[in-house]
Structure 1
Amino acid sequence: MSGKEFRQQPHETRFLEFLSQERAIAMALVPTAIGRSIRAARTMVHRLKQSGQVQVTRMDTGGPGPWRPSPYFDDPSELLRGPLWVYPERETACGYLDFDPGPWQPRPSMADHMTAVTAVRLALMGVETDPELWTSERMLYRRLRGENGQPIGHVHDAWFQDFTDPDKVWAVEVELTRKRGRGRLPAAMSAALDAADRHELAGVLYFVRGESLRRAVEAAAALIANKRGIERVPNLEIHDLDATLARKEVP
């Protein structure tokens, strides 16, 4: 599809900026992101793929399926493995980010966490792309790197500006499974809290999946408070991930 034939629509431009900030998105979340039907979402992604701005791939995440073949994106001769994912071409991402993110493509090991973080962003912000309102992990890695190009300290899953108090910016952390190993969870939470303090953030919003993990995070928070000689950690909020998504009707 030539540039002359392709007339990009405003919702497509917004989606590409969102996609570039988040690195990739599961096709299942695209209808929510653009506020349109599944059919319209697939048609849009197909247009963007034909225009050379995005790639579409299947990622074998170990899920049971069955996966429905797509006439837009699947080779009929190949066995379907996993759900469809969309990610921007390097040149596309560079244009929307104003920096070169380098070569990148999604990996199955990242799929569940990326899906959850993107779903939280859609629940809290919709497809808002102002980087001062929601600063994605990809953008934080760029912003917080040291002279050697590596990030300094812990990098949160995102930063989120408080709607009720614009002077406050919160770090966002999404936890889906318990970190195994003695002391790993408290250590990870301490690093997230210390990074929030270092960057003068309001605190850390933890979105956790499941009652068991919630109890583990609460226990880790109590341990951190005890070690710091305080009754409770004042700059930590723990939220149920699935309840948050259900309230905002994000799948």
Structure 2
Amino acid sequence: MVRQTARDAAVLEVLAQQYGLPQDVLASVLGVSLSRASGLVSRWKQAGWARAGQIDGGARWVWPSRVMARELLGWDPGPWMPRPGCVAHVRAVGALRLHRVGLDVGRWESHRALAHQAAEMARAAQAMRSVHVPDGVQVMRDGRRLLVQVELSLRARSVYLEPAPTDGRADWPQGLLADVASRARELECMGVVWWCPPQVVAPLEAVMSEFAARSSVRRARSGAVLPAGLRWAVKSLAEVPCWRPGPS
């Protein structure tokens, strides 16, 4: 019988919340060699706590078994294993979380948990409207909350922010940034931090600046009491160890 240590329990809980992690990210946060991390994963597999496999060209992946994930999350997440089309994003978000808060599970609300909560609320309310689910919410040491987005490639500008009307209609900024702002307020966040590769930082900062300016004008001109503006920031994933396979 394999005895579960406190470290095992902490890492497995993060794995369950983040879907899974590549073993080089695991080695980095634990401060051990890749071979040592592989040995830990072998123990977890032997105990039935985890599964592992080669998914992409990087390090092998590890993810909790369905039984373990259900035990740690408190609900049945269904079957899951990494797919080549999603592993780059799952890796980046997991590496970012560990870079920002380590194994402190109380300081991060995961996409998996937030998606489950949103689905449960929609089911209870019989709501048809879907809500934006961020990649996470980071809880600062003083209790303040930051909504976290991770973007690995730049989308069309109109996806983030629709052009301002030119026919005299009131400007009500729409697009992904507006959806994110609305969700940030619902989740009681004081700001939004968008993490992306270095080449995406400047274009995202530009569209965020336009959104902030247009939103500020709308608040000033509106007779209604509108929420105060959120704090917005764009940061480079270059500071995050192991956010992509190979040297970061």
Q: Which TM-score band applies after superposition, normalised by the shorter structure?
A: 0.7 to 0.9
Is the Cα–Cα contact under 8 Å of residues 184 and 192 in structure 2 kept in the other structure? yes
Distance of 2:178 and 2:108 partners within structure 1 = 22
Is the Cα–Cα contact under 8 Å of residues 92 and 150 in structure 2 kept in the other structure? yes
2:15 maps to which of 14, 19, 31:
19
SS at match of 1:144: helix
Distance of 2:110 and 2:129 partners within structure 1 = 14
Residue 184 of structure 1 deviates from its aligned partner by 1.1
Distance of 1:36 and 1:6 partners within structure 2 = 21
Task: Determine if the alignment matches structure 1 residue 139 to structure 2 residue 100.
Answer: no
Q: Look up the match of 2:138.
A: 160
Which amino acid in 2 is paired with 1:185?
Answer: Y
Distance of 2:193 and 2:157 partners within structure 1 = 23
Structure number having the greater helix percentage: 2
Residue 197 of structure 1 deviates from its aligned partner by 1.7
Q: 1:151 to 1:92 in 2, by over 3 A?
A: farther
Q: Look up the match of 1:204.
A: 192
Q: Look up the match of 1:50.
A: 46
Flag structure 1 segments of 5+ consecutive residues without an equivalent: 64-81
SS at match of 1:56: strand
Is the Cα–Cα contact under 8 Å of residues 95 and 240 in structure 2 kept in the other structure? no
2:74 maps to which of 87, 92, 98:
98
Is the Cα–Cα contact under 8 Å of residues 15 and 34 in structure 1 kept in the other structure? no
Distance of 1:151 and 1:134 partners within structure 2 = 26
TM-superposition CA deviations, 1:100-140 (whole Å, max 9, x none): 1111111111111111111111111111122xx21010011
Distance of 1:143 and 1:19 partners within structure 2 = 18
Is the Cα–Cα contact under 8 Å of residues 178 and 185 in structure 1 kept in the other structure? no
- With normalisation by structure 2, the TM-score equals 0.80
Which amino acid in 2 is paired with 1:196?
Answer: A
TM-superposition CA deviations, 1:202-233 (whole Å, max 9, x none): 111111211x31111011112212432449x6
Q: 1:234 to 1:202 in 2, by over 3 A?
A: closer
Which deviates more, 219-228 or 40-49? 219-228
Distance of 2:59 and 2:100 partners within structure 1 = 24
Q: 1:151 to 1:245 in 2, by over 3 A?
A: farther
Distance of 1:218 and 1:174 partners within structure 2 = 14
Distance of 1:23 and 1:151 partners within structure 2 = 25
Which amino acid in 2 is paired with 1:139?
Answer: A
TM-superposition CA deviations, 1:1-40 (whole Å, max 9, x none): xxxx211222111111111111110111111232322222
Q: Look up the match of 1:183.
A: 158
Q: Look up the match of 2:207.
A: 220
Q: 1:198 to 1:8 in 2, by over 3 A?
A: closer
Percent identity of paired positions between Structure 1 and Structure 2: 27
Flag structure 2 segments of 5+ consecutive residues without an equivalent: 162-174, 219-228
Alignment RMSD: 2.4
Is the Cα–Cα contact under 8 Å of residues 144 and 151 in structure 1 kept in the other structure? no
SS at match of 1:106: coil
Q: Look up the match of 1:85.
A: 61
Which amino acid in 1 is paired with 2:147?
Answer: A
Residue 198 of structure 1 deviates from its aligned partner by 2.5
Q: 1:229 to 1:147 in 2, by over 3 A?
A: closer
Q: 1:176 to 1:24 in 2, by over 3 A?
A: same
Which amino acid in 1 is paired with 2:138?
Answer: F
Which amino acid in 2 is paired with 1:219?
Answer: A
Which amino acid in 1 is paired with 2:80?
Answer: W
Distance of 1:137 and 1:97 partners within structure 2 = 12
Bigger RCO of structures 1 and 2 (CA < 8 A, at least 6 apart): 2
Is the Cα–Cα contact under 8 Å of residues 192 and 230 in structure 2 kept in the other structure? no
Q: What is the number of equivalent residue pairs in this alignment?
A: 218
